[in-house]
Amino acid sequence: MITTLLGGLSPRQFLEEYWQKKPLLVRQALPGFNGLLSRDELFDLACDPDVESRWVRHDGERWEVEHGPQRRSRLRGKRVPWTVLVQGVNLWLPEGDRLLHSFDFIPQARLDDLMVSYAVDGGGVGPHFDNYDVFLLQGIGKRRWRIGDQKDHNLVEGAPLRILKDFRPIHDWVLEPGDLLYLPPHWAHDGIAQGECMTYSIGFRTPTAQELGAEFLGWLQERVCLDSVYADPDLTLQENSALISEAMVDQVGAMLQAIRWDRSMVADFLGEYLTEPKAHVFFDPPDEPLSAAGFARRLEKAGFALDARSILLFRGARFFINGEALDAPAALHPALAELAHRRRLAPAGGHPPALAELLYDWYLAGFGHPPE
């Protein structure tokens, strides 16, 4: 980990004292940081139909929001303050992926994405609160952050984005390039650009029980096997043929009681759910793939790097990559666990041949490649 990132705190201290508890401002968390991409590169992403983005403008009275892909013509002008926010920059930019993973003192299973915003002077998305933790890292330019821990979360009615009705900040800080602000969920905040600026948000997932439940039920549907069939050999004559009988409700209730799951199914669901690529993510298989033997030689010499879009997690012997589960032979665990943690495997000889075979499959699917 970069030693300045938490301003002298160890990751353990950060977790104990700040994570999900209180904000932390770190001046010069990344000294010399002035961004990973230029304004124009960010605009190219914002105009790409495969990339999720929002454009927000505020004329002092009315808020306007436009979801991507953005039109170039929108990304001009300074008279009325505006901002454009691009989600999932880590998926398209290896440097973004690396930045995200400098925060891996928080488990990757909690990570969501890297969002990058650009704003003209006065631009921002207004005072609001989020349901997730976020590290706000200042790129080029300056942004004034006001934050507060108010319990009043009432929102302006009818606005196209979530704006707090009555924002009462208790801290007021101007962040400069390389400064970092950690905010726990539900802290009210408002970031206003002072001159042109770009901000990098490292965001985390906080799924609700409702979301998890809905996803899990969908997952379970393909795995449960309910093999009984409704039967009523003792059917008695009903006075009214339209009545749903209590006997029928009892029998169906008993049939549904057969829907069961255990801890290993919950773990499998989690692994697949957390590594499932987002809707518009596709992998690019290599145009002119190496042969299996050529790949094994490159693996020894150069190692292997996961593609920025790949997510690899594991639990015990079960590995999950991009929504798929696999049981890896024990001999492969150390290398795969290392690859999952560091997102890279250093060049080394003597890997078991099964490792080269598995990574070759991943390489052909576009999940990763030996670094150039």
- Binding string, residues 235-274; x marks residues near ligand SIN by CB under 6 A: ----------------------------------------
Give the Cα separation of 358 and 304 in Å (integer).
12
- Judged by CB under 6 A, the stretch of 122-130, 159-167, 223-231, 362-370 that binds ligand SIN is 122-130
201 binds, among ligand SIN, Co ion, none (CB under 5 to 8 A by kind): ligand SIN
Among the candidate windows 90-98, 123-131, 252-260, 319-327, which touches ligand SIN by CB under 6 A? Answer: 123-131
Site string for ligand SIN, 91-120 (x = CB under 6 A): --------------------------x---
Q: What does 275 interact with, of Co ion, ligand SIN, none (CB < 5 to 8 A by kind)? A: none
Q: Residue 72 is encoded by which pair of tokens?
A: 């170039």
Helices marked H in the chain: 11-17, 39-46, 94-101, 209-221, 246-256, 263-275, 292-302, 333-342, 353-365
Q: Which residue bears the tokens 């301003």?
A: 7
Q: Does 199 bind ligand SIN (CB under 6 A)?
A: yes
The end-to-end CA distance of the chain, in Å, is 24
Residues 6+ apart with CB under 8 A from 134: 182, 183, 201, 202, 203, 204
With CB under 5 A, what is the number of residues at the site for Co ion? 1
Residue closer to ligand SIN by CB (options 96, 191) is 191
Q: Which does 127 bind (CB under 5 to 8 A by kind): ligand SIN, Co ion, none?
A: none
Task: Name the residue nearer to Co ion (CB basis): 116 or 336.
Answer: 116
Cβ at position 107, least distance to Co ion in Å: 22
Q: Let me know: does 108 contact 173? Beta carbons within 8 Å.
A: no
Q: Which residue is nearest to ligand SIN (CB)?
A: 117
Using the rule CB under 6 A, which residue among 124, 139, 141, 148 binds ligand SIN? 124
The site that binds ligand SIN (CB under 6 A) totals a number of residues, namely: 10
User: In the complex with ligand SIN, which residue's Cβ is closer, 70 or 199?
Assistant: 199
Please identify which residue in the block is written with the tokens 């666990």.
Answer: 337
Alpha-carbon distance of 177 to 175, in angstroms, equals: 7
Which C-beta is closer to ligand SIN: that of 43 or that of 304? 43
Instruction: Spell out, one character per residue from 312 to 351, where the chain touches ligand SIN: x when CB under 6 A holds, - when not.
Output: ----------------------------------------
Taking CB under 5 A as the criterion, the residue among 52, 113, 130, 190 binding Co ion is 130
Q: Which is nearer to ligand SIN, 175 or 345 (CB)?
A: 175
Rg of the chain in Å (alpha carbons): 25
Which of 193/358 has CB closer to ligand SIN? 193
Closest CB to Co ion among 130 and 307? 130
Residue nearer to ligand SIN on the CB measure, 88 or 271: 88
Q: How far apart are CA 186 and CA 161, in angstroms?
A: 16
**Binding of residue 57 to ligand SIN (CB under 6 A):** no
Q: Give 5 or 183: the residue with its C-beta nearer to ligand SIN.
A: 183
The residue from 35, 68, 148, 191 that contacts ligand SIN (CB under 6 A) is: 191
Beta bridge mates, 207: none
Is residue 68 a contact residue for ligand SIN (CB under 6 A)? no
Q: How many helices (H) and strands (E) does the chain have?
A: 9, 18
CA proximity to 196, closest of 93, 81, 115: 81
| Matching residue, tokens 């490792």 | 355
Q: Which residues contact 180 (CB under 8 A, 6 or more apart)?
A: 5, 25, 26, 29, 30, 135, 136, 137, 138
- The helix-helix angle for 333-342 and 353-365 (nearest 10°) equals 40
The Cα 347–Cα 328 span in angstroms is 20
One-character DSSP codes across 328-358: PPGGGHHHHHHHHHHSEE---S---HHHHHH
Note the residues at the interface with ligand SIN (CB under 6 A): 83, 85, 117, 124-125, 130, 189, 191, 199, 201
